[in-house]
Structure 1
Amino acid sequence: MTNPEGRGRGRAGRILMLASLLCLALGALLAWQAQAQQNERNALLMTIDGAIGPAINDYFQRGLEHAQTREAELVVVKMDTPGGLDASMRAMISTMLGSRVPVAIYVSPAGARAASAGTYLLYASHVAAMAPATHLGSATPVQLGGGGGLPGLGEPEPPANDGAPAGDDTQGDGEGASPPDGENAAAGADESTKRRGNTAMERKVLEDAVAYIRSLAKRHGRNADWAEQAVREAVNLTAREALERNVVDVVARDLDDLLTQIDGRQVVMEDGERTLATAGLTIERFDPGWRTKLLAVITDPNVAYFLMIIGFYGLIFELANPGSLVPGTIGIISLLLALFAFQVLPVNYAGLALILVGLGLIVGEALVPSFGILGIGGIVAFVIGSVMLMDADTLNISLPMIGGIALVAAGLMLWVVTRFIGLRRRTPRTGQEELVGSQARALEDFSGYGHVRLRGERWNARSSQPLTRGQAVRVTAVDGLTLEVEPLDTAS
């Protein structure tokens, strides 16, 4: 006779053993996959498309950290940029120079450029590469206004030799070697012909930029003389010209061609030279995520500017209508986002102060009517401050947007002024002034002082003309509890 209880315990034991075997097999499979991924040699591919700013800097640093965690052999950055912020560019270069993973900057696809800050990044990279039909250069620091700018260098003089710097036809080694004799008569130009800047501040910023890019060129053995020309004269080179002048290391058709050409190449790292082994690398993409996209949106100067306007008016509406909550909530969130963006953007604080003063004067026009004086002054301060707000050439506020907001503010101010003028012309509806012009009837015959009935009430009255009982009269003035009246036919 079988024991049901024993059969149940045996079945449970078999199920437990089967589950244990499955767990062991799953653990072994995961360990094998992890080991395979660790043994797999890979290169991390990043993409920079647009102006260099805080969002790109954050994305670049997170990408290098991810590459170091994955022990990648190489980081390839496909870049197409018109330039950007000096602070973000220098932070990216510092991170790149201290990275344990080599970084290859690849200006791609065809038609892309590495202008301004992109030229510095290309010179700082361990491998500088370009695709055909791309170009680099125009590295002169330019600002629209405010401290530390180079307003005098915003329109650089056209360089000689169709954009190529004079005397730079050599395959330079980064140490400023001279070209062969007779190849270019302008090669021996005197130092005094170099652009130095018009003011002390311009010279200070320009010389700092020149020294910075020359140090990057010498670190990686690239053409330092052309780098200086790119800063001083804003010259440009195509991909083929850059390769011939030792500005870049490789001109590659695509990513596979790039990895093939740089295989076995020696690069200068922080801890010494290293030989690249890029053949057969597996490409792992590290694309910008939602964090980078959100930061890019918030730190766009036009968006930050609009958030500031919304935040300011939201708080004003909340203070004017306490308890409405919606304007205040939207306003405080928008204002905080705008302040975060201004913290990392090149904000001219004089321009920001003018904007706030202008908005305050426009609001003041609605609260303290001055028949347009406060409003006009506010609009003028607002427009001037908006133009001055952003210092960087590549991160300025759209002039049509400034004009549109100024027109809306002017329309609001005009509406407020016309409303106040209309209110002044309307007859009073409360108080003693409201009685002037009202009709009453005499309660008795009198000449001088008597009584009249006005709206069911008995009033003392004074008239310079004789009145008869029941005669219609018109109130001309109010003196305390006495009405000044006159016959209605005389008033008409």
Structure 2
Amino acid sequence: MTVRSRRRLHGAALLGVLATVLLAAAPPSEEQSPTERARPTVARCVLDGVVDSGSGDYLADCVARAETEGHVALLVRLDTPGGSLEATRIIVRAFLASRVPVLVWVGPSGAHAGSAGVFITLASNVAAMAPGTNIGAAHPVVGIGGQDPEVAGGKQLARKVENDAVAFVESIARQRGRNAEWAASAVRDSASIPADKARELRVVEHVAASEAEFLAWADGRRVEVAGGDAVRLATADARLVELAPNLSQRAVHALAHPSVVYLLFLVAALGLVVELSHPGAIAPGLIGLVALVLALVASSALPVRTGALVLLLVGCALIVAELFVTSGLLGAAGVVLLTLGGVFLVDRFDPGWFVDRSFHLSWAWVVPTTVALAGAAAYVAYRGAQTRRLPQQGGDAGLVGEQGTALDSVSPEHGEVFVHGERWRATSPAPIRPGAPVVVRRVEGLTLFVDEVKT
């Protein structure tokens, strides 16, 4: 065997060893049996919370992925108070244009498909609700106290918004063969019904206590998907494949809530107060700055009042200014502005949003959190003021007033003293004997001007 051949053999052996090591170190793959691979798969997505741009993109992406990956259906678990009308339209368009059957299950018990959730449920091919759930109240009412569009924006604007929403929901219901009359009443009269009534009125097709029960019931049903094709559902023994949102969709959805926006403003204010009262700490200031940026980003995805944002920003500025003035008035004014900004944060009437009455910041949440912030900021300001009143402990100014001992005779021309653990050159207008106690009156360079302490 030649040298080159031996080298090739050794190289092949080395590659074999490396491959064996890598295979052993790699996590075990989830090998599926032929029977498991033969089972149909159903993609599963969850819409929990407000319908915003993040969740809208997520569900539209779920439809596209279900089609691309060849799943037999897409199952959406729904629990929402409503949300952005534009995000709702994105979801509805994706459902209606889907070539994969879309199944919506409103659950678990206690969940609801409120406001914009009505449009999403009606847009599905097959819909079911868990016992103890409800659907409806899709009238365009938003904000604090659930103010009606007619009160907030006038009759003409109210009629325009309402008619547009009614036409939208009726077209969805008719296309899916559901009760268009009830759908219109959900918008015009804020009609809301429980699961059993929804099935009776042909708003949904079934009442199922679980997703598995819903899929078993839906098995064998024929539905019409985009393009007019009829598809028979094969969901009884299907394997669920979870489709998770990406990081961007998850972040937008997590931030899109008034309480999160308000809390971020409070964290920003407290972080800046701590940083300015303790310069150089860095971490509190950085946290406050990041919280402020996130609050502004999140507020752009919500129906918020510009005036409320201004109140929050001015309130934060006044609390920070209190550190330098320490009058108490600026801090109190900042707390009041933060409270008002939180209460009026959600727009009373925004035609781009369909949410139920729970979507707002209540006094019961705003007041305690603001008081807690005010207490923390007041404590930080008080401790900062105490620190500023203390005498300087370092540098030349820190030596003034310090007492020591004369190491030898101190005269107006020369002398040495022991002060603050160090030997210093010193002078005194009156002679001081060695060993006498002295006090520093002035410092010039490396020379201390001292007086004898009379006992």
Please report the TM-score for the alignment, with normalisation by the length of structure 2.
0.67
* Distance across 1 between alignment mates of 2:371 and 2:130: 46
CA distance in 2, matches of 1:407, 1:257: 48
Residue pairs, 1:24-39, within 5 angstroms: none
The within-5 A match list for 1:337-352 is 337-352=294-309
What aligned pairs does 1:44-193 form with structure 2 within 5 A after superposition?
44-144=43-143, 151-152=147-148
Residues 237 and 303 (structure 1), Cα distance of their counterparts in 2 relative to 1, 3 Å cut? closer
Distance change in 2, residues 1:85/1:5 (3 Å): same
Match of 2:359 among 395, 398, 412: 395
Distance 1:408 1:112, change over 3 A: closer
Which residue, out of 210, 223, 235, partners 2:166?
A: 210
SS of aligned partner of 1:397: coil
Contact 2:258-2:345 within 8 A present in 1 as well:
no
Shift of 1:330: 1.4
Q: Which protein is bigger by CA-based radius of gyration?
A: 1
Is 2:259–2:361's contact at 8 Å kept on the other side of the alignment? Answer: yes
How far off its partner does 1:121 sit?
Answer: 1.0
| Secondary structure in 2 matching 1:151 | coil
1-structure distance, mates of 2:129, 2:34:
35
Matching residue's letter, 2:195? A
**For the residues of structure 1 that align with 2:373 and 2:199, how far apart are their CA atoms?**
54
Asked whether the 8 Å contact 1:264–1:278 carries over to 2, the reply is: yes
Q: State the partner residue of 2:334.
A: 378
1:233 maps to 189
Q: Is the 8 A contact 1:50 1:81 kept in 2?
A: yes
Relative to structure 1, the CA distance from residue 253 to residue 325 in structure 2 (aligned partners, 3 Å threshold; closer, same or farther) is: closer
In the other structure, the counterpart of 1:285 is 241
Give ranges in structure 1 of 5+ residues lacking alignment: 156-195, 423-455, 458-492
CA distance 1:414–1:49, change in 2 (3 Å): closer
> 2:225 aligns to what?
269
Q: How far, CA to CA, are the matches of 1:227 and 1:412 in structure 2?
A: 50
Asked if residue 223 in structure 1 is aligned to residue 179 in structure 2, the reply is: yes
- Please point out which of 242, 256, 261 is paired with 2:198: 242
1:358 corresponds, among 283, 302, 315, to: 315
Q: Could you tell me how far apart the structure 1 residues matched to 2:252 and 2:311 are? A: 26
Structure 2 unaligned regions, length at least 5: 24-28, 348-354, 387-427, 430-455
Provide closer, same or farther for how the CA distance between residues 290 and 221 of structure 1 changes in structure 2, counting only shifts above 3 A. closer
Residue in 2 aligned with 1:305? 262
2:42 corresponds to 1:43: yes
> Does the CA-based 8 Å contact 2:264-2:292 persist in structure 1?
yes
Is residue 273–residue 380 contact of structure 2 (8 Å, CA) maintained in 1? no
Q: Call closer, same or farther: CA 1:298–1:380 in 2, change over 3 Å.
A: same
Paired-residue identity, % = 34
Q: TM-score, normalised by structure 1?
A: 0.62
Change (3 A) 1:256 1:399: same
3-state SS, counterpart of residue 289 of structure 2: helix
- In structure 2, give the amino acid aligned to 1:212: F
Counterpart Cα distance in 2 of 1:265 and 1:311: 54
How far residue 376 of structure 1 moved from its aligned partner, in angstroms, is 4.0
Aligned to 1:330: 287
Structure 1 residues 97 and 38: alpha-carbon distance in aligned structure 2, compared to 1, 3 A threshold? farther
Distance 1:366 1:102 in 2: 61
Are the counterparts in 2 of residues 141 and 206 from structure 1 also a CA contact under 8 Å? yes
2:269–2:288 Cα contact (<8 Å) kept: yes
Q: Deviations over 1:396-418 (max 9, x none)?
A: 23534421343245557877999
In 1: Cα distance, 2:381 partner to 2:41 partner: 68
Q: Aligned pairs, how many?
A: 370
Q: Which amino acid aligns with 1:47?
A: V
- Matched with 1:191 is none
Superposed displacement of residue 99, structure 1: 2.5
Larger relative contact order (Cα-Cα within 8 Å, sequence gap ≥ 6): 2
Instruction: Give the superposition deviation at 1:351.
Output: 0.6
Q: 1:267 to 1:109 in 2, by over 3 A?
A: same
Secondary structure in 1 matching 2:163: helix
Deviation at 1:105, TM superposition (A): 0.6
Q: 1:99 to 1:324 in 2, by over 3 A?
A: same
CA shift, 1:72, in A, is 0.8
Task: Tell me how far 1:226 sits from its aligned partner.
Answer: 0.6
Q: Distance in 1 between matches of 2:69 and 2:34?
A: 12
Question: Kindly tell me: are residues 244 and 199 of structure 1, through their superposed partners in 2, closer, same or farther at Cα, counting changes over 3 Å?
Answer: same
Alignment-mate amino acid for residue 152 of structure 1: D
Which one-letter code corresponds to 1:278 in the other structure?
A: A
**1:56 offset after TM fit, Å?**
3.3
Tell me if structure 2 keeps the 8 A contact 1:299–1:341: yes
Q: Give the partner amino acid of 1:282.
A: A
SS at match of 2:75: strand
